[in-house]
Structure 1
Amino acid sequence: MYDRLDEVRADIATRLEAAARDRNAPMHTPVIATADADARIMVLRGFDAEGWVLRFHTDARSPKVAVIEADPRIAVLAYDKPAKIQLRLRGRARIERVGAAVDAAWADSPNFARRCYLGEGPGTDSTTPTSGLPREFEGVEPDDDQVVPARANFALLLIEVDVADWFSLAHTGHRRALLTRDEGQWITP
């Protein structure tokens, strides 16, 4: 149990950094809620502890992209069940379709992941159950040439965290802290 706010700040960074690089980390797939109160689970791909920026991959055609571009307010909920630590993050989101960061994220993705951006856009109506992928890529990893068209649909969702609400559940007494990038305070759970 932490007694200092700098320990809480370090705990947040450690958990989010681990979640971005380890698919088995408890906070690897947080819930992301856009300003229209629509929520979904996404894979955390990166965390910049200095800038308090979370990075996710998204399809530029996704309905959430239009929502974010109209109203960038966003919330993130992550939970580490074994540690009984909950993080509620609020901030501003932006979508990046081009640039060095987007190119680097695309380059770091295997073709199996890139193929997700080849099919129909998220939310497209269908008369039958579908993955949205072209049939030739169902369960198959495309080659480099085959994923070239997918790059146009790939984007980053970047979330600049304004406020982090850290909550620790403990039978000895819960603890809760509210932090911004520069300040923090303990609050009653």
Structure 2
Amino acid sequence: MVETSKFQTLEDVREDLSRRLVRAARDRRSPMHVPAVITSDVDARTMVLREFNSRDWALRFHTDTRAPKVAAINADPRMAVLFYDKGAKVQIRVKGTGRVLADGPLVQEAWDKGTNFARRCYLGDGPGALSDEPTSGLPPEFEGHEPTDEQLVPARENFAILMVDLEELDWLYLAHTGHVRAQFTRDDRGKWQGRWVSP
């Protein structure tokens, strides 16, 4: 639970926000591990948060280069992400700029850290591909089976990471004694400017 007495300053809130996002990326049991990710075409989906870079204030997700959201982000990179921890009664909303990266050391590192079983989804049909029957999109030989490294070679070109560089933060604590809310915006120098606001 969150005690409002612990949050007397905006810096207290910003540190709490950062800690929660770090845990969300590292701990699969964190309620914030799988947030709602919204693109500029007003579409939303649940995605696994893979990393939160607390120095650069950037979120990292994995995606398929063929997914419709990639085209949406390339056309208009404005994004929002919604996190909620029911037990702690804390909601975090963030806005930022999305970047889809298909090549480079960070992308290769993310690919290399994945398991073959997880990476097999990039062997299948692209997200949104039509089918005449219920389907996972996977080739039949990989339904319930882990591919080899060699079999995964063609999957790599479909793998990308989605980075969301944060520009606005909104932290809300829901309390029966009275909700508490703070907002932060990033200035031209990359510094966060905070303010208390009415819930």
Q: Which residue of 1 aligns with 2:64?
A: 59
Give the Å deviation of 1:7: 1.0
> Percent identity over the alignment?
57
Structure 2 alignment gaps of length 5 or more: 187-191
CA distance in 2, matches of 1:142, 1:7: 47
Q: Quote the offset at 1:180 in angstroms.
A: 2.3
Report how far residue 5 of structure 1 moved.
0.9
Shift of 1:172: 1.2
- Looking at structure 1, the residues matched to 19 and 150 of structure 2 have their Cα atoms a distance apart, in angstroms, of 38
1:138-153 equivalences in 2 (<5 Å): 138-153=143-158
The number of equivalent residue pairs is 189
Show CA shifts across 1:13-42 (max 9, x none).
111111111111010000001001000000
> 141-150 vs 99-108, which deviates more?
141-150
Of 15, 29, 38 in structure 1, the residue corresponding to residue 34 of structure 2 is: 29
Deviation at 1:100, TM superposition (A): 0.6
Give the letter for the 2:126 counterpart: G
1:117-128 matches, cutoff 5 A: 117-128=122-133
Match of 1:43 in 2: 48
Partner of 1:184: 194
CA distance in 2, matches of 1:38, 1:68: 11
For structure 1, the residue ranges without an aligned partner over 5 or more in a row are none
- Give the TM-score normalised by structure 1: 0.98
Q: CA RMSD in A?
A: 0.7
Paired with 1:184 and 1:51, the residues of 2 have a C-alpha distance of 17
Q: Deviations over 1:36-83 (max 9, x none)?
A: 100000000000011110000000000000000000000100100100
Q: Distance in 2 between matches of 1:57 and 1:96?
A: 10
The AA in structure 2 aligned to 1:176 is R
- Secondary structure at the aligned position of 1:162 is classed as strand
Aligned counterpart for 1:100 among listed residues 105, 113, 117: 105
Match of 1:115 in 2: 120
> Counterparts of 1:133 and 1:21 in 2: how far apart (Å)?
28
Matched residue SS, 1:13: helix
1:72 and 2:77 aligned: yes
Q: Which residue of 1 aligns with 2:93?
A: 88
- SS class of match (1:180): strand
